[in-house]
Every structure is written in structure tokens, then in C-alpha cells.
Amino acid sequence: MDFLLASVIDGLLLGFVYGIAAMGLTLIWGVMNVINLAHGPIIALGMFSLYFIFSLLGLNPYLALILVAVLGLLLGILIYFVAVHRVIDAPHLSTLLATFSVNMIIIGLGTAAFTASPRNVEFSLGSFTVGSITLLGTRLVAAVLALAVTGGLYLFLYRTRPGRYIRAVANNRDAAELMGVPSAQILALSFGLGTMLAAISGGLIATFFPFTILAGGVYELKSFVIGVLGGLGNPVGALFGGLILGVLEGIIPTFMPTTWVPVLEFGLFVLILLVRPQGLFGARK
């Protein structure tokens, strides 16, 4: 029983981090109907940025995370103007392939620069013991930070002027433009926020798992699953989706071999797309 509880809590903590990765994906989808296939490599870049800032500059990883976030935002805005802006109104295939080509470029350069050997951030916060359950400090902090990021995103979207613009563009881009919203800048900002969330989640994951440049792919696939669970285009749904996935990953191995986890995950994913494509919590649109 204790073992089960520990697995659930561990899964929940991880779920928060999955949640913000998925939130980045779903924000971009919700605002501009683009599935960002460069999501995984950007998560991986978040891991590497944190690693280098921590090991070369010796900064505390959680301070480094702020820098990682800024870099993620700028990278996203750059990607938007270089690769996405020209094809934003083209059929789906164009944006899928444009973002996938960014994926190839990042992976290609990343493999050449960082090689494929795994890295590890040598950082630990020890562990906490509550009753019979032991929790890793880094995971606990990661979950708290993920919650804070979610809160920050919510405040930004609902309490600030650029946030309102983003919601207006997501709702109806043409109408927003007629009201004087600079839609190109807003789309770029939304894309940047999406990649920023990806980079932050990557940075948090790097504090407790080893990684390579290819490590982001797994989290990209998880983000798809979570995004669909919570409803594509629904950032709050993404957080709940992340928690559900985290708990599933915690519970399933207690009664089945771990290798069955992806079968169930992707089975669930396809099932939800079929019976409830708007997600468990309903999308905004």
C-alpha cells in the first residue's frame, strides 16, 4: 500500500513537469493551429542550456532556469519568423513540415556539437521522508516551480494586455486584426511562450534525469498524449492531463511490466482522439 502511495506521489510530481511541457505544445496549437514538431528538440535544448549554465557558470540550477526561459522565448520567436510565419495560413502539412525541418536542424547540429553521450546535472537536494514515503528534493521543487509557472502563465494570459491579445488572436485572428491587434507579433510571442514552457520543462527534467540531444522526443510524444487528454488548446487541461499521465506511469508498473506503459498510453491517446477529440476537459474552441 505504501509502495503504491509512493508511486502515485512520485508520478504526480513528475506529472506537473510533463504538464508544462504539454502546455507549451497546446498553447501554440490553441493560438495558431500549429502542431510544433520541434517541441522535443527544444525540450532537449532546455536540458542542455541548464547543464551548461550550471556546469560552466556554476549558477544555481533554479536561477539558471530563468536564463533558460529567456533563451527559450527568444528561440521560439526566431523560429516563428524564420520557419512558421510564411506558412501560417497554408494547409497543415506545410506547418508540420516546417516545424519538423527545425527539428532536424536542431537535432543535426546538436548531435554534432554535443555528441550522443548522456549528460547529467550533478545537483541534488537530498530527499525528504514523510512517514514511510521518501521524496526526492529536486522533484518536489520541480513540481512547485511547474505550478508557479502555470500560475504565472494564467496571470499573463488573463491579467495583462499582451495576454488578452493572445486570447483574442486565438479566438478569431481576423477580428482581432480589425481591432488593431498586431497579429504577427502576437503569434510570434505565443510561439515563443510555447517554446519557453518547453525549455523550462526540459531544464527541470535535467535536474533529475540524465539526457542526450534526442531525449526530448519522448517528452514530445508525452506532450501529444497529454495535450489530447486535456483538450488541445487548453493550457489548464494540459496540467491535469500531465497529472493523469504521471499517475498512470506511477501506478501501471506496480501491477504490469513497465514495458506495457507506452502501449496503454498510446492506446488511451488514440481512444480519446476517437471518442472525445475535444479532450477530457473540453477545449476552448
Partner 1 sequence: MSGWRKYTGLIVTLLIVLLLTFWPLITGKDITRETIFTILLSVALASSLNILLGYTGYVSFGHVVFFGLGGYVGFYLLSVQGWSLWIAMLAGGAASAILAFLLGKAILRLRGGYFALATIGVNEAMRAFINNFEPFGGPVGMTLNFQVYRDYGGPAQALWLSFYMLAALTIIVVIISYSVRMSKFGLGLLAIREDEDAAEVMGVIAPNVKTWAYVLSAIIPGILGVIFFFKNGNIEPAPAFRLHFSIEMIVMVMLGGQGTVLGPVLGGMGYQSLRGYLLTSPLFKNIQLAVAGALLLIIVLFVPAGVVGWLRQRFPALRRVLQ
Window 81-140: residues binding partner 1 (CB under 8 A): 82-83, 86-87, 90-94, 96-98, 100-109, 111-112
Rank residues 101 and 134 by Cβ distance to partner 1 and give the closer one.
101
In this complex, which beta carbon is closest to partner 1, that of residue 151 or of residue 267? 267
Choose the binding region for partner 1 from 4-12, 170-178, 189-197, 256-264 (rule: CB under 8 A).
Answer: 256-264
- Do 84 and 191 touch, CB atoms closer than 8 A? yes
- CA dihedral for 167, 171, 177, 180, sign (positive or negative): negative
18 with 242: CB under 8 angstroms?
A: yes
Mark residue 58 as left, alpha or beta (left: phi above 0; alpha: psi -120 to 50; beta: remaining).
Answer: left
Task: Identify the burial level of 236 via C-beta atoms within 10 angstroms of its C-beta, where 0-12 means exposed, 13-18 middle and 19 or more buried.
Answer: middle
d(CA 186, CA 188): 5
Answer for which of 78, 262, 280, 281 binds partner 1 (CB under 8 A) is: 262
Window of 57-65, 136-144, 185-193, 269-277 that interacts with partner 1 by CB under 8 A? 269-277
Per-residue contact flags (x/-) with partner 1 for residues 206 to 245, judged by CB under 8 A: ---------------x--xx--x---x-------------
Give me the least distance between CB of 143 and partner 1, in Å please: 26
Cell for 60?
Answer: 544555481
Rounded to a whole number of angstroms, the minimum distance from the CB of residue 85 to partner 1 is 9
CB atoms within 10 A of CB 72: 28
Exposure string of 14-30, with b = 16+ CB inside 10 Å and e = fewer, is: bbbbbbbbbbbbbbbbb
CB 205 within 8 A of CB 16: no
Is 52 a residue that touches partner 1 (CB under 8 A)?
no
Cα 183–chain centre separation = 24
Contacts (CB under 8 A) with partner 1, residues 4-43: 29, 33, 35
Q: Is 78 in the site for partner 1 (CB under 8 A)?
A: no
Cell of 264: 496503454
Q: What residues make contact with partner 1 under the rule CB under 8 A?
A: 29, 33, 35, 82-83, 86-87, 90-94, 96-98, 100-109, 111-112, 221, 224-225, 228, 232, 257, 259-260, 262-263, 265-267, 269-270, 273-274, 277
